[in-house]
């Protein structure tokens, strides 16, 4: 007998986070393989756009430590 969706979900939640992330990525690819490619392409375009903004001086980078501290402050 095949496992039910609920039993699968409870087993999956017992996996370590990195395993759950790998499973999620796998499942998404089985739904729409080209979507993963489009997502990767979109992120690459965004990274290149941000790189150009930094290079041109249109935006100014901030140290990771400052960004992390601000994020942690907002989560409190």
> What pLDDT score was predicted for residue 12?
95
H-helix segments, 1-76: 5-12, 17-31, 33-56, 64-75
Best CA proximity match to 58, nearest among 66, 49, 67: 49
Measured over the CA atoms of residue 2, residue 16, residue 72 and residue 52, the dihedral's sign is negative
Q: Which of 39-43, 59-63, 66-70 has the lowest mean pLDDT?
A: 39-43
Domain ranges of the chain: 1-31, 33-76
* Whether this model's pTM surpasses 0.75: no
Residue 70 reports pLDDT greater than 80: yes
């Amino acid at each position: 007998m095949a496992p039910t969706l609920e039993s699968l979900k409870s087993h999956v939640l017992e996996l370590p986070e990195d395993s759950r992330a790998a499973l999620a990525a796998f499942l998404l690819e089985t739904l729409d393989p080209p979507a993963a490619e489009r997502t990767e392409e979109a992120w690459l375009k965004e990274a290149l756009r941000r790189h150009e903004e930094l290079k041109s001086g249109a935006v100014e980078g901030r140290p990771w430590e400052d960004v992390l501290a601000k994020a942690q402050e907002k989560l409190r």
